[in-house]
Amino acid sequence: VGGLPWSTAAAFSLLAAYFLLVPLSDTLALQAGLELTPAITAVTLCIIAAVTPMYSAFVAASPVQSVLPRFYILVAALLLLFGALLSLYPRNTVLGFSFVVFVQTCSLFLTTTFWARMATLHSKPQSVRVFGLIAAAASLGQLGSSLAAPALYALMGRSIIFGSALLLCACIVFVRWRSGSADADAAAADASTSARE
């Protein structure tokens, strides 16, 4: 599959973006207090239940190729907003609580959106061959980010959010390049079929 490097790069970037946020999210959860841990879980589940119908309606109303870029741009923009607010109000417990819930909620929708897009970019035979490699790239992104995140958080502090947003934007670019490769493959296949006829 000619676009496999872009698919694996996108998977790597996505998981790296998410796990870059884990040290900050854990720190803010601890600052909010261990007694609020059940509340974080409960609020996250409620938000997921509330957002899922809206997300489904958004997906149904949007062209397939635009779902991932639009949704990821929204998440990246919200990350930038959180980054700015957390820099301005570092001791705001409500803001920290909101960020933790946001990160936990996004983990579901980011991965769902990514694999749905991969499914539309690969045929069934291709999926059998390459999805394992894409998943391996995602695991490498998770591992690499998990190893680097504590040191980066110690160096960058809450500015690590901006690094996560940048990686998410990189994922969008890689998926778009993969989409272009899929279009080129489809055009080549059509040309080959026409030539045989």
Q: CA 132, CA 126: separation in Å to the nearest integer?
A: 11
CB 8 within 8 A of CB 137: yes
pLDDT at 31: 84
pLDDT at 188: 45
pLDDT at 195: 46
Q: In 67-168, at which residue ranges do the beta strands (DSSP E only) sit? A: none
Mean pLDDT over 153-180 rounds to 93
Tokens matching residue 112: 């769902």
Q: Which long-range contacts (CB under 8 A, 24 or more apart) does 152-160 make?
A: 152/20, 153/23, 153/24, 153/27, 158/24, 158/83, 158/86, 158/87, 158/90, 159/83, 159/87, 160/20, 160/21, 160/23, 160/24
The pTM (predicted TM-score) of the whole model is 0.86
